[in-house]
Structure 1
Amino acid sequence: MNTEKKIQLNLAIPERYRNYLRRMAAERVMSDPSEVVTGASIATELLVTALKSISGEKKKEGELHND
């Protein structure tokens, strides 16, 4: 279980991407109606995955700085 504290982050994205995230969420709900999925939850998954990947690459390259 992930025990990290969650914070809210507000981002502004183009409307077409918001619509795409909503469509992705609707498709997931249609495939599994018991699952609660939103465009924001999908965006969070994508952002966290990308940040983990970026930080992993930087750690390997020795570029990660702890400020």
Structure 2
Amino acid sequence: MANCKCILGSAFKVEQWDRKGLHIEETLAVCGNVLVARAAFQAAIKARPGENITLRQGIRVIESREPV
């Protein structure tokens, strides 16, 4: 269980936000490894074209793709 707390505390999250970027609509992935998280982010932007997708670690935004 100690490992779970460590991973969840520093988890990378791929999230879909509403059009205005104010609210998270869905958490698409939670990863303990940044390389896996980046792959999940790339898969999410391909699977959901036109959606506001972010890759975050806590409040830090690592990568984002806003709708055009």
| TM-score, length of structure 2 as denominator length | 0.32
Which has a greater percent of helix?
1
When Rg is computed on C-alpha atoms for both structures, the one with the higher figure is 1
Report which of the two has the higher share of strand: 2
Name which structure has the greater RCO, CA cutoff 8 Å, separation 6+.
2
TM-score by length of 1: 0.33
